[in-house]
Amino acid sequence: MDTKQHLIGFVTADIVSFIMRDEAIGVEEAMSKFYESEVFTKLDDVETGLYRESSAYVYDLYKIECQYGHLVQTEL
């Protein structure tokens, strides 16, 4: 596994933990929610470079997607 894949794994693990904490759900449900998201698709695509961002930033994108049902451009 290369460095990019390791970074994707670390960010994913953090976000799953954030989802579990904030939504009071188990690991399987949190993983399912994140893996099915548009944000995860973009995170997993190394061409987007999203894996270089902080876990908090990516989680904010995930919360925006959950709020609007898709990714939207917002001013954070």
Residue 13 binned pLDDT confidence (cut-offs 50, 70, 90): very high
Q: According to the model, what pLDDT value does residue 70 have?
A: 87
Q: Is 11 helix (H, G, I), strand (E, B) or coil?
A: helix
- What are residue 75's phi and psi, to 5 degrees? -105, 110
Of 7 and 76, more confident: 7
Residue 74 binned pLDDT confidence (cut-offs 50, 70, 90): low
Residue 72 binned pLDDT confidence (cut-offs 50, 70, 90): confident
Q: Would the pLDDT of 48 be above 70?
A: yes
CA distances 28 to 8, 19, 46, Å, are: 18, 11, 24
Distance CA 16, CA 21 (A): 9
What are the extents of the domains in the chain? Answer: 3-68
